[in-house]
Amino acid sequence: MATLGNPQNTIDILKKYQFRFAKKFGQNFLIDTHVLDKIVHAAEISKEDCVVEIGPGIGTLTQYLCESAGQVFAVEIDDNLIPILEDTLSAYDNVKIIHDDILKVDLNALVEEQCGGKPVKVVANLPYYITTPILMGLFEKHVPLESVTVMVQKEVAERMKAAPGTKDYGALSLAVQYYAETYLAANVPPNCFMPRPNVGSAVIRLKLHRENPVRVRNEHLMFDLIRASFNQRRKTLVNGLYNAGGFGLGKEELSALITGLGFPETVRGEMLSLEAFARLADAVSEAQNSSGFLP
């Protein structure tokens, strides 16, 4: 089978199967061998690895993964791509295609079944319309992960690695940084894809922390506080939390907790680090307990 990284081979396959791109599935196929090499290199794949690919498309990146990894399993939603994948991956016996929706499939069960529960490396050129639900699903469902190396919209990569006080900093930065260390592997222009997307792209590698970087008594409460703070970005932290229902506390109590952590009363959520949100969550949790509040 001809390698698909070459654009002419991609065109030939698309013609052979009279494939029509489905916009609703965020289909932008890679046609640049340098970018494909960079993704595989950034993911640090070896024959020891079990790799999960999300959205293999016609199998371009999958061919590269099959060459480098021990085992690959790839989850694709589009019915029309399944016969194409059977064709383009026919030379490999270390790949399995799972015809399913990545947001619905039980990945924990799949990893157990396909990789004996060993932590996997996720590698993908993601469908951009569901980047956040895919990544948060991987983290929150505690899929055993070693790393996640993904092509995403450039602005999303910038949000993932943003620091407190910057314009890109938000709930996504805090969530990603709670679970993983971020590393920007490459910026990728639209002409590396077919069809060309309207936005710039970037490859980001998320290496899972061995231990959470902060200690917090109630992880869920911390993420609820984070979401409430950034839902109303222009508001002060006190007002953001109070307007979100107050977490069982009055405005004065919230204000006292925030100043008690050393922040001015007028601070906005965007100034708080992950560590500061963890301390805030512990303080809110303690105040809730002493007032007998049941969440």
Q: By CB under 6 A, name the binding residues for ligand SAM.
A: 25-30, 54-57, 60-61, 75-78, 81, 101-103, 125, 127, 130
Report the residue number, 200 or 213, with the smaller CB distance to ligand SAM.
200
> Least distance (Å) from ligand SAM to the CB of residue 14?
11
Report the residue number, 79 or 211, with the smaller CB distance to ligand SAM.
79
> Least distance (Å) from ligand SAM to the CB of residue 8?
15
Would you say 225 and 280 are in contact if contact means Cβ atoms under 8 Å apart?
Answer: yes
> Least distance (Å) from ligand SAM to the CB of residue 120?
16
Q: Nearest-CB residue to ligand SAM? A: 55
Q: Compute the distance between CA of residue 79 and CA of residue 290 in angstroms, rounded to an integer.
A: 55
> Least distance (Å) from ligand SAM to the CB of residue 141?
15
Report the residue number, 164 or 197, with the smaller CB distance to ligand SAM.
197
Q: Compute the distance between CA of residue 50 and CA of residue 115 in angstroms, rounded to an integer.
A: 6
Would you say 249 and 291 are in contact if contact means Cβ atoms under 8 Å apart?
Answer: yes
Q: Compute the distance between CA of residue 173 and CA of residue 157 in angstroms, rounded to an integer.
A: 9
Report the residue number, 80 or 182, with the smaller CB distance to ligand SAM.
80
What dihedral do alpha carbons 32, 33, 35, 38 form, nearest 10°? 180
Q: Compute the distance between CA of residue 144 and CA of residue 16 in angstroms, rounded to an integer.
A: 38
Report the residue number, 29 or 247, with the smaller CB distance to ligand SAM.
29
